[in-house]
Chain A
Amino acid sequence: MSDLLELEGVHADIGQHRILQGVSLRVRPDTVTVLLGRNGAGKTTTMRTIMGVLRPRRGAIRFDGRPIHELRPHAIARLGIGYVPEGQGIFATLTVEENLRVAMLVEDADSRERMRRVLALFPDLARFGGARAGTLSGGQKQMLAIGRALVNPARLLLIDEPSKGLAPIVVEHLIDALRALKAHATVVLVEQNFHMASRLGDDCYVMDDGRTVHAGPMAALAADAALKRRYLGI
């Protein structure tokens, strides 16, 4: 089966700083691909470049065989790519329900049905539907951020550090929720929490200094202590 997402030698800059210096990766359909690496390795920049927020200086990004690196962010999202950014990116002054509604590309019966499914998956969101999103706990905000990406028929979900700053018990709940997601979409997950990454990932890429330095099955990396020590310091 052909890859759903492919990055080929992607270089991207932020201002004068060269952040990505040759990122190549392939994401198979119906898998969870984990991007690992130390802080500053370029994981978040990779996600933002895929979404079109940053334009690559060199290289190509293809989604379902179609080049997308020259498209604008809204056009990329409309191809069926959902994005959950680091720090959640929720709209704090809008209510929980409004946050879900604003994420819908069109407000029709299908999207409202998907919203009902999201609320069933995350009952806390249903409970606080009328509350301002800024008043939610860290875990609830993360649920909302993920829920927003699910109100459209996403084929690919890019999720950036969902466990960051969350209590262990909340992370466990999050792992369950992300497992449930695997049935609906292909996932690219940036994660510093190796325990979580190893439980969810099928494939993994390790990034260092703006480059992909290792690719392979997640299980193989989990079993390779030398590689983990070298690139992840664990």
Chain B
Amino acid sequence: MNPERVKRLVGPLLGLALLLLPLLAIEPRPWLTLTVAGLAMGMLIFLVAAGLTLIFGLMDVLNFAHGALFSWGAYAGFTVMLLVDRRWGWAASPSVLANAGLVLLAVAGAAVVALTLGVVLERVVVRPVYGQHLFQILITLGATIVLEELIRIVWGPNDQVMSVPAALQGSWDVADVVVLRLPVAAIGLGLAVYVGMRWLLDRTRVGLIVRAGVENNEMVQVMGHDVRRYFTGVFAAGSALAGLGGLMWGMFNQSIRPSMGGEQLIFAFIVVIIGGLGSVTGSLVGALLVGLSYNYVAYLVPKAAIGVTMAIMVLVLLARPTGLFGSGK
């Protein structure tokens, strides 16, 4: 067989082996349930990490406020759902159309609020500190505190219960295995976002310029492209994805709290590092790796779950310092 082809098969085969490995210690039924939950968790982390990796890769910006945008997306979506449900009762409606309408409105609310905050954040907070990593960390951490406190002022400091539309509640019985609907919806959404991002990056001129910018943004500028415009666009899109991730995470856990974004940010950074800076595919693979390993290990040795994700990151960095799909920028 052609060595190039063999090389290309190594990754997927290794992934499949890792996926099946837990079957040595876990019964097939719980394994399938854990796999679905792990894939869903991975997809939700991917929504946060995808925006972060582009912002990190293209703009060289360490945006610690990304987690706060995640929280704001969750609260914005929660508010939209609450208002629409109070007015028309779409959450408990048996109509799938009403349920879908409710989710779409919540998604739009989450994305628009996070996008708007992202643009303001980029223009006011991040732009003055381009190229200065220490200041970026300090100022975006400061912005995180402000944004989280604003959530506490508007919605209060306590957890809020997020309603889930009836169509997404419950489960399917697949060959005697319980498959929850919401994780399947999260997997579908994550895949749709990935396909959309790949299409945008691979098939459009904007995507081509963004990919070039991730590799060498100075060169893109001297070719006549206004990188700042692309920076703002990518920052806005990344923020909208964080908001979408926050909403889906809230629905997944059926509760939201002001600090939820900060808690997820650590996973997102681990995923970005595992996948390689600026790589959307790397983020997807890294997120699935983290989501699956977290769920398997949490089932077997609950206390080791976070440690395993850290260990994966360390192992990947030792084997490939640029991450699985990093270009070595």
Contact = CB atoms under 8 A, between A and B. Distances in A.
B215 A94 contact: yes
Contact of A107 (B205, B221, B223, B226): B205
B227 A102 contact: no
A75 to B, nearest CB: 8
B219 interface: yes
Instruction: Report which residue of A73, A77, A85 has the largest number of chain B beta carbons within 10 angstroms of its beta carbon.
Output: A73
B152 interface: no
Nearest to B205: A107
Contact of A103 (B215, B221, B223, B327): B223
Interface residues on A, range: 20 to 34
Contacts, number: 61
Interface in A79-102: 83, 85, 89, 91-94, 98-99, 101-102
Given A89-B216, A91-B219, A93-B211, A105 B224 contact: yes
A53 B227 CA distance: 13
B84 interface: no
Contacts of B221: 53, 72-74, 77
Main SS of chain A's interface residues? loop
Contacts of B216: 89, 91
Contacts of A92: 215, 327
A51 interface: yes
Nearest to B229: A74
Contacts of B205: 101, 107
Given A85-B219, A93-B211, A107-B205, A74 B225 contact: yes
A89 B219 CA distance: 6
Interface residues of B, number: 18
Interface string B182-213: 00000000000000000000000100110110
User: What DSSP secondary structure best describes chain B's contact surface?
Assistant: helix
Contacts of A85: 219, 222
Interface in B93-119: none
A78 interface: yes
A73 B216 CA distance: 14
A86 to B, nearest CB: 12
A55 interface: no
A152 B224 contact: yes
A77 B223 contact: yes
A51 B222 contact: yes
A148 interface: yes
A102 B220 contact: yes
Nearest to A88: B219
B280 to A, nearest CB: 13
B198 to A, nearest CB: 14
Nearest to A98: B208
B257 to A, nearest CB: 40
A52 B222 CA distance: 8
B159 interface: no
B212 A77 contact: no
A74 B224 contact: yes
14 contacts: A72-B221, A72-B226, A73-B218, A74-B227, A85-B219, A85-B222, A92-B215, A93-B211, A93-B215, A98-B208, A101-B205, A101-B208, A102-B223, A105-B223
Interface of A: 51-53, 72-74, 76-78, 83, 85, 89, 91-94, 98-99, 101-103, 105, 107, 148, 152
